[in-house]
């Protein structure tokens, strides 16, 4: 199975804690956070990683090259920031098959079992399946509404909160052909969470939500970054 990792984040909020690096390269116990992501998902069955990169991408490419252990690594390089949606659409052309692929945020770790997630995706006959966390902090993550069948009925940004405790955990399974008609909008910035996913819902695409209580960490702010080492050590 192939995986796209959105690794173009600048990490501005981490400047007080880590050096001037792409956010996924924030060091944890002597290794970049991205190393732990690659290692975990390699052992879950990923054999080809596509890194959607931009800011200081050379640091990432120099670190990982074209192989990580026995998995191949490719790079979709942004010439300017494209956002999460734009980075995804840019990276899709590097996929080698039309089979479902994994999409990962490059600044979060969610210890999902890929086999269980994929079975859920198939059972729901979904176009996309999102991993979901329960959170009280919708101001940070936004919220997601589920219907009684486990299908997502509304995806919102932190700007428009609903009364829900479900939030996007940053691990997706996406059917390969889903974006065949999409192109990167003249290479302008494009949000996955605020534009692309809501657009797909309006088009009546089937988007399922897979709720998990597995370990989750978001290194986007200094407080959670300090927790990452303990959480990651439990899964490596």
**Residue 187: predicted pLDDT:** 57
The reply to whether CATH 3.90.550.10 applies to domain 2-233 is yes
Pairing of strands 207-211, 101-105: unpaired
Q: What is the C-alpha to C-alpha distance for residues 214 and 176, in angstroms, rounded to an integer?
A: 26
Least Cα distance to 191 among 162, 214, 168, 218 occurs for 168
Alpha helices in 57-188 (DSSP H): 57-64, 83-92, 114-123, 138-141
Work out the pLDDT band at 145, boundaries 50, 70, 90.
confident
Work out the pLDDT band at 138, boundaries 50, 70, 90.
low
User: Domain limits of the chain?
Assistant: 2-233
Contacts of 200-204 spanning 24+ positions with Cβ under 8 A = 200/127, 200/128, 201/152, 201/153, 201/154, 201/155
What is the DSSP code string of 102-140? EEEETTEEE---HHHHHHHHHHTT-SEEEEEEE-S-HHH
- The predicted-structure confidence for 23-62, as pLDDT tens digits, reads as follows 899 899 999 999 999 999 999 999 999 999 998 999 999 9
Q: What is the C-alpha to C-alpha distance for residues 105 and 88, in angstroms, rounded to an integer?
A: 10
Q: What is the C-alpha to C-alpha distance for residues 110 and 215, in angstroms, rounded to an integer?
A: 6
Q: What is the C-alpha to C-alpha distance for residues 62 and 44, in angstroms, rounded to an integer?
A: 24
**Residue 174: predicted pLDDT:** 97
Q: What is the mean pLDDT of residues 174-196?
A: 76
Q: What is the mean pLDDT of residues 214-229?
A: 85
Work out the pLDDT band at 134, boundaries 50, 70, 90.
confident
Q: What is the C-alpha to C-alpha distance for residues 120 and 207, in angstroms, rounded to an integer?
A: 12
Least confident of 4-13, 158-167, 192-201, 204-213: 158-167
Work out the pLDDT band at 179, boundaries 50, 70, 90.
confident
**Residue 6: predicted pLDDT:** 96
- The predicted-structure confidence for 95-123, as pLDDT tens digits, reads as follows 999 999 999 999 999 999 999 999 999 99
- SS3 of 23-47: the string is HHHCEECCEEHHHHHHHHHHHCCCC
Please give the residue that has the higher pLDDT: either 20 or 19: 20
């Amino acid at each position: 199975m192939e995986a796209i990792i959105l690794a173009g984040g600048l990490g501005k909020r981490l400047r007080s804690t880590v050096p001037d690096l792409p956010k996924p390269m924030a060091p944890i116990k002597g290794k970049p956070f991205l190393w732990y992501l690659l290692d975990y998902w390699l052992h879950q069955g990923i054999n080809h990683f596509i890194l959607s990169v931009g800011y200081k991408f050379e640091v990432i490419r120099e670190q990982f090259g074209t192989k990580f252990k026995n998995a191949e690594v490719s790079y979709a390089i942004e010439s300017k920031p494209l956002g999460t949606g734009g980075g995804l659409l840019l990276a899709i052309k590097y996929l080698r098959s039309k089979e479902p692929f994994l999409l990962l945020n490059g600044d979060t770790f969610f210890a999902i079992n890929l086999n269980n997630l994929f079975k859920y995706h198939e059972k729901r006959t979904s176009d996309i399946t999102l991993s979901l966390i329960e959170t009280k902090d919708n101001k940070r993550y936004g919220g997601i509404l589920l219907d009684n069948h486990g299908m997502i009925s509304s995806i919102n940004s932190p700007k428009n909160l609903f009364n829900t405790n479900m939030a996007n955990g940053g691990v997706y399974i996406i059917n390969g052909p889903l974006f065949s008609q999409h192109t990167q909008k003249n290479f302008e910035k494009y949000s996955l969470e605020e534009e692309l996913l809501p657009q797909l819902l309006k088009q009546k695409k089937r988007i399922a939500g897979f709720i998990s209580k597995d370990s989750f960490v978001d290194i986007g702010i200094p407080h959670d970054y300090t927790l990452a080492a303990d959480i990651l050590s439990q899964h490596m």
